[in-house]
Amino acid sequence: MHWTADGNAYVTGTQGDLALTDIRTGTKTVLIPQDKLRAPGNNQRLSISDFVFTPDSANVLIFTNTARVWRYNTRGDYYLINRASGLVRQVGKERPAQSLMFAKLSPNGRAVAYVSEHNLFVEDVATGQVTQLTTDGTRKRINGTFDWVYEEEFGCRDGFRWSPDSKQIAYWQVDATKIRDYLMLNTTDSVYSHVIPVEYPKVGEAPSPTRIGVVSATGGPTVWLAIPGDPQQYYLNRMDWIPSSGNLFVQQLNRKQNESKLFVCNTGTQSITPIYTETDKAWVDVRVRNSNDPDGEWLNGGKAFVWVSEKDGWRHIYRVGIDGKGETLLTPGSYDIESVSHIDEATNQIYFIASPQNTNQRYLYRTRLDGKGKAERLTPAGLDGSHSYVISPNGKLAQHTFTNYQTPSVQEWISLPDHKPVNASESIASRMKPVTKSNVSFFNVTTEDGVTVDGWMAKPTNFDSTKKYPIVFYVYGEPASSTVNDVFSIGQNRLFQGDMANAGYLYVALDNRGTPNLKGAAWRKSIYRQIGRINIRDQAMAAKKLFTQHAFIDTSRVAVWGWSGGGSTTLHLLFQYPEIYKTGISVAAVGNQLFYDNIYQERYMGLPQENREDFVAGSPVTYAKNLRGNLLYIHGTGDDNVHYDNAELLINELVKYNKQFQVMPYPNRSHGISEGEGTQQHLRTLYTTYLRTHCPPGPR
pLDDT tens per residue, range 366-385: 999 999 999 999 999 999 99
Q: What is the mean pLDDT of residues 240-254?
A: 93
Predicted model pTM: 0.95
| pLDDT 10s digits, 575-617 | 999 999 999 999 999 999 999 999 999 999 999 999 999 999 9
Per residue in 282-339, pLDDT (tens digit) is 999 987 554 444 456 899 999 999 999 999 999 999 999 999 999 999 999 999 999 9
d(CA 354, CA 339): 8
Per-residue pLDDT at 639 exceeds 50: yes
**Structure confidence by residue, pLDDT tens digits, 383-394:** 999 999 999 999
- Look at the alpha carbons of 502, 505, 511, 516 in this order and tell me if their dihedral is positive or negative: negative
Residues, the chain, total?
700
User: DSSP characters for 316-368?
Assistant: EEEEEETTS-S-EESS-SS--EEEEEEEEGGGTEEEEEE-SS-TTSBEEEEEE
Beta strands in 176-284 (DSSP E): 181-186, 194-199, 210-216, 223-224, 234-241, 247-254, 259-266, 272-279
Whole-angstrom distance, CA of residue 514 vs CA of residue 506: 25
The values of phi and psi at residue 28, to 5°, are -110, 135
Q: Where are the alpha helices (DSSP H) in 46-158?
A: 148-154
For 681, phi and psi rounded to 5 degrees?
A: -65, -40
Read off the pLDDT of residues 465-515 as tens digits, 9 standing for 90 and up: 999 999 999 999 999 999 999 999 999 999 999 999 999 999 999 999 999
**DSSP H helical ranges for 354-440:** 428-431
pLDDT at 246: 87
As its CATH architecture, domain 440-694 has 3-Layer(aba) Sandwich (3.40)
The boundaries of every CATH 2.140.10.30 domain in the chain are: 133-279
Comparing C-alpha atoms, which of 510, 406, 507, 407 is closest to residue 460? 507
Architecture label for domain 1-130: 7 Propeller (2.130)
Average pLDDT over residues 263-288: 93
At 295 the pLDDT is 53
Q: CATH 2.130.10.10 in the chain, residues?
A: 1-130
Type of residue found at 184: M
State how far Cα 153 lies from the chain centre.
9
Q: Three-state DSSP class for 455?
A: strand
What is the dotted CATH code of the domain comprising 133-279? 2.140.10.30
- For residue 71, pLDDT over 90 is answered with no
